[in-house]
Structure 1
């Protein structure tokens, strides 16, 4: 399309809006077609992802993009997002078919903090993919989140389990030892920490910071560079932002998300303050009943086990997984409360619980361990981008 240099700015903006609306309509049409693809795969029992076809698709789109003077990286970035959405949309549809009792138009969801907390953002993002409206239940602790679900006041609970910068969230792992809830889903949420203030101020004036302990830890290098800072801990980033909004002082700030800060009238004075620029938190979704995961989509199974207190006991268990060629994505140890020097091991593996191979592995592990329990089997929502060589 050629832009008339004599067009006014308003005319140009109207054209941009028209194109944006057309793009949205086409994306919606593409989503509908992806659903038809999912339906066709049911009869053929083909998996949702076909990365060979995805690679061929991306290479063709790169060539087409070059004809329109579009950079290959720009094209792949856009279509990686579109493909991810298509995969997750198909997975959600197939899961509704095998778990019809969970296909509710409205769900009660408990999470940490008030509106604007990272747990709140993760909850909304996760259930938006399921086309589910939320009744939101704010909680002040991880224990409260679990209690709300255990008592039936909430249908689901959303809990952060690990962060790429600060590592595992031990309190959540400890709570999973003693709950009857099942893990039914996961979502990885990008964490974009900013320094937020309620009044116009300078970074040098800040001497007090409010946030949840995790963001303090995830931004430790930046905070060290600020010198002597009074770090105040809150139950969530949302509570920290609310506190700073109420104080309205030039020397206080909160660590949180910039878009969430807008809810409380806060503005960022410093962005990208996390130790790692690629900062993500993985959240799990828990419910009172487990879900069935269709064999057409990738699944994860999470289990906990306690081994005998003898040399090589854990190694023997891990060899069972290796010999079965099952990929382990997480191994975390936590002390067993009340049993000094005894450890409980949390294991994430990339396999469906219903798979006969996994059933055999569970039998083998049961013979080798003092205690073993499956915490849940759930769809894997980590859609790894298909790689392409721009130089081909």
Structure 2
């Protein structure tokens, strides 16, 4: 029978392996710092749940192949991931310039995320993007001071207004400080090898389904089902691994989740754009020489012809109405709140006079923000 090594020798061997593990963890944390800097420069979210799930799945598989308990190894790696995120957050707090914290609805690869990257990538000091499941969660986080800005879709050139955003703006506590126009290019995404004729279900956000209505009429064997987010719909296609299920989402989502583009440009209009509003807790000054908009919300006095009087009063003051939207007031049947996008600065003489003219015609009036028109941002 072979002689067993003495206990001290075994302990020295374990200490040597522990040192190797600690050295590997240090190198992993160093890489986490580099990842944080890269994400800030590229306006990518700090935490990536999809990526984390993929890493954990690979770790469980590797643990099994090494004869280790996959559940215990997963528990250890979750702690390591939390250490990495904490390390990245600590680095951000130590930066000379504080990165901007921006929230948007959806996950990485969603159109809101693409628009956020379009607007903030390359910003000095970096940007920390945060995706939320719903627009309400985004604004709640902004109001609590956990975000500096929020970016929400408010209308689309083919599907019309995003009612949820208008309703959330009525809750107050935020102001519009900017707008962004982002082109929409919808793709029909399926699993690799999937065929259009075999599809039975397509998942996407209701707005995306509306924007692709003409295409969907041509494929009546495919049933559309709404999801809260386009990129989230693509993720579900990947997870379900069902070749009869597809998603309407972006090219970025296809690349991110390893899906195949079955049909390109399926939106109704070739020049399809979504307008996003940028929101903050406090207004940002806009120089008077910058072309801008002022968004207003009003509740009219309950008298016949009041809306016509409002529009006439604005026209007489030379204020152009770029958009008029109405939304029902909760708890007040058949009463409506109106949103008006007006061309001009709230502090201009014509706008000040126009708003004074509107006061006797309204029971409530609030300026939601004055901000540069898309393409005319200053600075």
TM-score, scaled to structure 2: 0.71
Q: CA deviation at 1:131?
A: 4.7
Question: Is 1:243 aligned to residue 236 of structure 2?
Answer: yes
Distance 1:335 1:278 in 2: 30
Moved over 3 A (4+): 128-132
Task: Tell me the equivalent position of 1:124.
Answer: 117
| Structure label with greater radius of gyration | 2
Distance 1:268 1:260 in 2: 10
Question: Is 1:308 aligned to residue 301 of structure 2?
Answer: yes
Q: CA deviation at 1:382?
A: 4.2
Q: Cα gap change, 1:112/1:205 in structure 2, threshold over 3 Å: closer, same or farther?
A: same
Question: How many corresponding residue pairs?
Answer: 280
Task: Tell me the equivalent position of 2:267.
Answer: 274
Task: Tell me the equivalent position of 2:152.
Answer: 159
Q: What is the DSSP-based 3-state SS (H/G/I as helix, E as strand, rest coil) of the residue aligned with 1:195?
A: strand
Q: Do 1:333 and 1:346's aligned partners in 2 also have CA atoms closer than 8 Å?
A: yes
| 1:332 aligns with one of 290, 305, 325 | 325
| 1:112 aligns with one of 91, 95, 105 | 105
RMSD: 1.5
Distance 1:324 1:260 in 2: 47
Q: What is the DSSP-based 3-state SS (H/G/I as helix, E as strand, rest coil) of the residue aligned with 1:178?
A: coil
Task: Tell me the equivalent position of 2:65.
Answer: none
| 2:224 aligns with one of 217, 220, 231 | 231
| 1:319 aligns with one of 312, 315, 318 | 312
Q: CA deviation at 1:247?
A: 2.1
Q: CA deviation at 1:105?
A: 5.1
In the TM superposition, 1:57-136 aligns within 5 A as: 106-128=99-121, 131=124, 133-136=126-129
Q: CA deviation at 1:362?
A: 1.2
Task: Tell me the equivalent position of 2:356.
Answer: 363
Q: Do 1:150 and 1:181's aligned partners in 2 also have CA atoms closer than 8 Å?
A: yes
Task: Tell me the equivalent position of 1:348.
Answer: 341
Question: Is 1:258 aligned to residue 212 of structure 2?
Answer: no
Q: CA deviation at 1:249?
A: 2.5
Q: What residue ranges of structure 2 are gaps of 5+ in the alignment?
A: 1-96
Greater displacement, 280-289 / 245-254: 245-254
Distance 1:324 1:267 in 2: 54
Q: What is the DSSP-based 3-state SS (H/G/I as helix, E as strand, rest coil) of the residue aligned with 1:120?
A: helix
Distance 1:132 1:191 in 2: 28
Q: Do 1:199 and 1:248's aligned partners in 2 also have CA atoms closer than 8 Å?
A: no
Q: Do 1:336 and 1:343's aligned partners in 2 also have CA atoms closer than 8 Å?
A: yes
Q: Do 1:105 and 1:131's aligned partners in 2 also have CA atoms closer than 8 Å?
A: no
Task: Tell me the equivalent position of 1:61.
Answer: none
Question: Is 1:207 aligned to residue 200 of structure 2?
Answer: yes
Task: Tell me the equivalent position of 2:277.
Answer: 284
| 1:174 aligns with one of 159, 162, 167 | 167
| 1:193 aligns with one of 186, 190, 208 | 186
> Greater RCO between the two (CA within 8 Å, min separation 6)?
1
Question: Is 1:297 aligned to residue 280 of structure 2?
Answer: no
